[in-house]
């Protein structure tokens, strides 16, 4: 167990060893804090929002394709059906 000091703005700094153990904890990441009882709190990484969780989802699909050529191909197919 490590101890930290609560600052004048009621902030704490998580020790480096703790930050390194928590997967996905990076600057700017949102966390949830729970009061388990009057002397105990828990910090949990918040679930990513839809935009963050879907970032890069199509990377593998588009990896070997030229997006401009694909869009032009779709555009040509659309014009053929009219």
61: which 2 tokens? 């699909």
Q: Identify any residues that bridge with 31 across adjacent strands, giving them in sequence order.
A: 45
Backbone φ and ψ for 33, nearest 5 degrees, come out as -120, 130
Q: What is the pTM of this model?
A: 0.51
Check the CA dihedral 11-45-30-16 and report its sign: positive
pLDDT of res. 82: 67
Q: How far apart are CA 45 and CA 39, in angstroms?
A: 21
What percentage of the chain has pLDDT greater than the value 70? 99
Q: Identify any residues that bridge with 41 across adjacent strands, giving them in sequence order.
A: 35
């Amino acid at each position: 167990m490590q101890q930290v000091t609560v600052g004048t703005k009621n902030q704490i700094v998580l020790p480096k060893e703790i930050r390194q153990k928590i997967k996905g904890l990076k600057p700017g990441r949102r966390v949830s804090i729970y009061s388990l009882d009057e002397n105990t709190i828990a910090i949990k990484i918040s679930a990513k929002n839809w935009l963050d969780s879907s970032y890069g989802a199509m990377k593998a699909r588009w990896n070997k394709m030229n997006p401009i050529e694909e869009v032009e191909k779709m555009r040509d197919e659309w014009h053929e059906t009219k």
